[in-house]
Amino acid sequence: GAVVSQHPSRVICKSGTSVKIECRSLDFQATTMFWYRQFPKQSLMLMATSNEGSKATYEQGVEKDKFLINHASLTLSTLTVTSAHPEDSSFYICSARDRDGGWETQYFGPGTRLLVL
């Protein structure tokens, strides 16, 4: 089956630093990737939609200058949390839509736990 990886799986950083999270589709090409954020005991909330070769589309309330998304290839999207603060601590999950599948076909990565001290 299709596999999506995320790196790192967990990261601890100091307040004010930037953290980059990678999302890769390992055996398929993804024209679209989605970034979700999940706070403890809460649901997954879509942050942004990342399309290969174009600017990401952010959901209302998500700061595009703080959460930089780059989708430079059909297999890689990155989310950079700039100047991270403790309130950015969360579980970040990406999903990738298979270019050769229907629009409903998408696969989730294992997630990245971010802890900002």
- Residue 68 CB, nearest approach to another protein (Å): 19
Collapse the DSSP code of 65 into the 3-class scheme (helix H, G, I; strand E, B; otherwise coil) and give the result: coil
Nearest to 90 by CA among 34, 4, 13, 23: 13
- CB-facing half-sphere around the CA of 58: CA atoms within 13 A: 12
Which lies closer to another protein via its Cβ, residue 43 or residue 54? 43
- Residue 97 CB, nearest approach to another protein (Å): 5
**Positions that interact with another protein (CB under 8 A):** 32, 34, 41-46, 49, 57, 91, 93, 95, 97, 103-104, 106-108, 110-111, 113
Beta strands 57-58 and 44-51, pairing class: antiparallel
Which lies closer to another protein via its Cβ, residue 34 or residue 67? 34
